[in-house]
Amino acid sequence: MFEPALLRARRLFESEDLEDTRTRISRVMQPHGLQPIARPRGGRAHMDYLNVGGIGIGTIAFGEAMRVDVAHVEDYHLLMFCLRGQADTLVGGQALQTRGLQGMACAPGERFVAALSADAEQLVLRLDRRMLEAHAGRAIRFDAAFDLRRPALQAWLQQLQLLLNAEPMLAAVQAHPLVALEMERLLVQLLLAGQPWEEVPTAPVVRPGQGGRACVRRAEAYMREHADAPLRMGDIAEAAGVSVRTLQDAFQRERACTPMAYLRALRLDVAHRRLREPQAGTTVATVALDCGFTHLGRFAQAYAQRFGEAPSATLRQRA
């Protein structure tokens, strides 16, 4: 695997008490069973953890061989790999070995059992179910077996490595909610592109006025009100009272663009207003980040196309 250097500075706890370890991990993940596999030797456990939007990333080590039993994973998808050591896992009735670049995914509602070696340190990712569905546009279940040696998953793995080893990037993610949302979106989309998954059937939700101009108007009103807030496609569709697919189709018919393109234009308007009415210390970079634009070059290009001048020119005129 790799060394998640920036997680080390975000240690939640260290403990030599099994019950204390169980309680502290449960506060972040969920209640679960812990049972030493061999005679307890008083190993020192630890957990490091941080959040990137709706994605939690952490490391867990117990310092001794341990059996972990989760009766059913709650409202999130659990991904697990071993930075060190190995684990024999049972996921939804499927037996898998987790070691190095071979990991596993457990869907919400499934049972998860792992027998961890004494030297094991887990890398765990907690993907909020609603967050994942908001990006995917549907309820999904990943294939349980993850093999990070697959070419299709290299982009996701490299982005995860970069996030956990580049302090300026992580600092920007933690300082700006819209940047955190963009990083969340990038990690999820790379994961969806690289790991096989299937759609989980759900009962259709039928609401009045689903299609056409009505849902577009509701979505536009919601986006105007929350243009400077972290928004996902699922959030916008929920506010409009329709599915993601229905909203996308309606926007293409009524506006010849996607909902996210409309939101991007609104955010450019917010950036324009803030540059025209700057506060003390306002810079193009801070305005761009606050409005969810993580690439300053692309922000400047989009801004110039919309307003006919560079963002720096707008700021200079009002300075």
Q: Do domains 5-197 and 212-318 have the same CATH topology?
A: no
- The dihedrals phi and psi of 106, each to the nearest 5 degrees, come to -120, 125
Please tell me the least confidently modeled range out of 8-22, 129-143, 181-195, 284-298. Answer: 284-298
Q: Where residue 210 falls among pLDDT bands split at 50, 70, 90?
A: low
Cα–Cα distance for residue pair 24/33, rounded to 1 Å: 13
Q: Where residue 318 falls among pLDDT bands split at 50, 70, 90?
A: low
Highest mean pLDDT among 20-24, 173-177, 211-215, 275-279: 20-24
DSSP string, 76-128: EEEEEEEEEEEEEEEETTEEEEEEEEEEEEE-TT--EEEEE-TT-EEEEEEEE
- What pLDDT, on the 0 to 100 scale, is given for residue 295? 81
- What pLDDT, on the 0 to 100 scale, is given for residue 227? 86
pLDDT of 208 higher than 50? no
**Entry pTM:** 0.78
pLDDT of 16 higher than 70? yes
The position carrying tokens 């989760």 is: 70
Of 134, 135, 182, 160, residue with least CA distance to 289? 182
Please tell me the least confidently modeled range out of 20-29, 47-56, 230-239. Answer: 230-239
CB half-sphere exposure, 153, CA atoms < 13 A: 13
Residue count (the chain): 319
Q: Where residue 211 falls among pLDDT bands split at 50, 70, 90?
A: low
* Distance from chain centroid for Cα 119: 28
pLDDT of 207 higher than 80? no
pLDDT of 206 higher than 50? no
pLDDT of 121 higher than 90? yes
Higher pLDDT, 41 or 218: 218
Over residues 120-132, mean pLDDT = 95
pLDDT, tens digit, 9 for 90 and up, residues 23-43: 999 999 999 999 999 876 768
Over residues 192-204, mean pLDDT = 85
CATH architecture of the domain formed by 5-197 = Sandwich (2.60)
Over residues 62-68, mean pLDDT = 95
- What pLDDT, on the 0 to 100 scale, is given for residue 202? 67
Domain boundaries, the chain: 5-197, 212-318
- What pLDDT, on the 0 to 100 scale, is given for residue 228? 81
Q: Where residue 93 falls among pLDDT bands split at 50, 70, 90?
A: confident
Is 180:234 a contact under the CB 8 Å cutoff?
no
pLDDT, tens digit, 9 for 90 and up, residues 151-196: 999 999 999 999 999 999 999 999 888 889 989 999 999 999 999 9
Over residues 52-63, mean pLDDT = 96
Domain 212-318 has CATH 1.10.10.60: yes
Task: Look over the chain and give the mean of its residue pLDDT values, rounded to a whole number.
Answer: 91
- What pLDDT, on the 0 to 100 scale, is given for residue 282? 87
